Chain A
Amino acid sequence: KQEVTQIPAALSVPEGENLVLNCSFTDSAIYNLQWFRQDPGKGLTSLLLIQSSQREQTSGRLNASLDKSSGRSTLYIAASQPGDSATYLCAVDRDDKIIFGKGTRLHILP
Chain B
Amino acid sequence: DGGITQSPKYLFRKEGQNVTLSCEQNLNHDAMYWYRQDPGQGLRLIYYSQIVNDFQKGDIAEGYSVSREKKESFPLTVTSAQKNPTAFYLCASSPYGTGNQPQHFGDGTRLSIL
Bound pair (A, B): yes
Point out residues on A near B: beta carbons under 8 Å: 4, 9, 31-32, 34, 36, 41-46, 49, 51, 89, 91, 93, 96-98, 100-103
Structural contact, A102 and B98, CB atoms closer than 8 A: no
Structural contact, A31 and B98, CB atoms closer than 8 A: yes
Interchain Cβ contacts within 8 Å, total number: 65
Contacts of B84 in A (CB 8 A): none
Structural contact, B99 and A31, CB atoms closer than 8 A: yes
Q: Which of B11-19, B40-48, B67-75 makes up part of the contact surface?
A: B40-48
With A42-B108, A43-B90, A102-B42 as contacts: A96 and B102 at CB distance below 8 Å = no
Contacts of A43 in B (CB 8 A): 4, 6, 90, 92, 105-108
Could you list 18 A-B pairs, sorted by A, with CB under 8 Å? A31-B98, A31-B100, A41-B88, A41-B110, A43-B90, A44-B43, A44-B90, A45-B105, A46-B104, A49-B102, A51-B100, A89-B42, A93-B98, A96-B97, A96-B98, A97-B98, A98-B98, A98-B103
Point out residues on B near A: beta carbons under 8 Å: 4, 6, 31, 33, 35, 40-45, 48, 50, 58, 88, 90, 92, 97-108, 110
With A41-B110, A45-B105 as contacts: A97 and B48 at CB distance below 8 Å = yes
